[in-house]
Amino acid sequence: MSSFRYSDVYKVVYPRRHEGIYKNRGDNPWVSIRIRQGVGRDPSKWFSNQLRVIAEISRTYGDGRAMLGTRGDIEIFKVDFRLFDEVVAKLKEVGLDPRDSCGNSVRNPIPCASQFCPYAHINAEALSTFIGDYFRYRSEYEQPLLPHRIKISISACERACAVPVAQDIGIVAKPNGKFDIYLGGGIGEHAFSARLAFTDVDAEDLLPICVGVAEVFRRSGERRGFKWVVRLRGLDKVREEVLAIAREVKPKLPKPPDLTPRFIKSRIVKIPYPTGWLPPMNWLSWPMWLIGMGLAMYCCSIIKAYTYQSARRLIGLRN
């Protein structure tokens, strides 16, 4: 029988969750460590030396697994919580740090894949890095001062591939060089769709508004999340409070980088087929829709299998 009780380890781990540590289930000393890129690094890009170190740490300190998360983080499992600081030191040697990937913190902003998208109006990765770097390591936006996590996404065009309606802050670029901002979205047991709060926002006002949201949320003390602040106070009231803080802090904040789209010069296969929740009802289009869907799924499975095997060869993961 294990000498570690879940409740005892949890009491040690819980206050440090914003440092990138989660308790695994059961009476054991195991925790998960969620890893982010360092400050100034594009959250969507990982380097081979970093992946090798993560693989080695997972083999040495964990159970050999590594999982890519939905916000661009990598998570390793079953690490002894007493070795957490030792693991973090090794990660920092290659420019990685788990801090602000878990717990009550401003999580890694999600950019859409604008470097591959012909419809992109901006460089979503550059904007994501800019906003994420500002909130990194700021204790006022971490546990225990921040009552819940904050999630942000950046979509480079109106197609909104980064799902702004499911975020606390959803930023969507427009063809006129300005942005729409959605507030108060979230998934879970009580799922809310974010609502359009600001239209035609200039790039230099994006970070002030994000800071305004974080401040309004921090001062609210609402432990269930920012979506409940919008739900209970109303969008108009929250918008007014956010704008007041944004105007106050704007002169003190850094200016955004160049957001001109940068495309990776690669050949991209585009398979046109009707999209939407249901196929067209014209009976003649049903065969084409089925063929298109089948071809798309087949191509995706091949690409996924090839990418997976290539990644395993690159970082030397064992079965």
Q: What is the pLDDT of residues 264-277, one digit of tens each?
A: 665 555 545 444 44
Query: 78 and 160: one domain?
Result: no
Answer with the one of 97, 125, 152 that is the final residue of a domain.
97
Question: What is the residue range of 153's domain?
Answer: 110-252
- Tell me the mean pLDDT in the region 196-206: 97
What does the DSSP assignment read for 44-106?
A: T---HHHHHHHHHHHHHHS-S-EEE-TTS-EEEEEEEGGGHHHHHHHHHTTTEE-TTSSSSBB
Residue 237 pLDDT greater than 70, yes or no: yes
Residues 138 and 93 in one domain: no
Q: What are phi and psi of 71, to 5 degrees?
A: -110, 25
How do the residues of the chain divide into helix, strand and coil, expressed in percent and rounded to 5?
45, 15, 40
Q: Please name the residues in contact with 305: beta carbons below 8 A apart, sequence gap of 6 or more.
A: none
Residues 175 and 130 in one domain: yes
Most confident of 94-103, 116-125, 249-258, 289-298: 249-258
Contact 113, 157 (CB under 8 A): no
Residue-level pLDDT at 279:
41
Residue 198 within any structural domain of the chain: yes
Quote the number of domains for the chain.
3
What's residue 123's pLDDT? 94
pLDDT range class, residue 84, cuts 50, 70, 90: very high
| Among candidate residues 205, 223, 252, the one where a domain is terminated | 252
For residue range 219-230, what is the model confidence (pLDDT) as tens digits? 999 999 999 999
Tell me, yes or no, if the pTM score tops 0.85: no
Q: Which of 202, 219, 252 is the last residue of a domain?
A: 252
**Residue 197 forms part of a structural domain:** yes
Same domain, residue pair 164 and 278: no
Q: Return the beta strands (E) in the chain as ranges.
A: 21-23, 30-37, 66-68, 74-80, 96-97, 110-111, 152-155, 169-173, 179-183, 195-201
Considering the domain architecture, whether residues 87 and 162 belong to the same structural domain is answered as: no
In a domain? residue 258: no
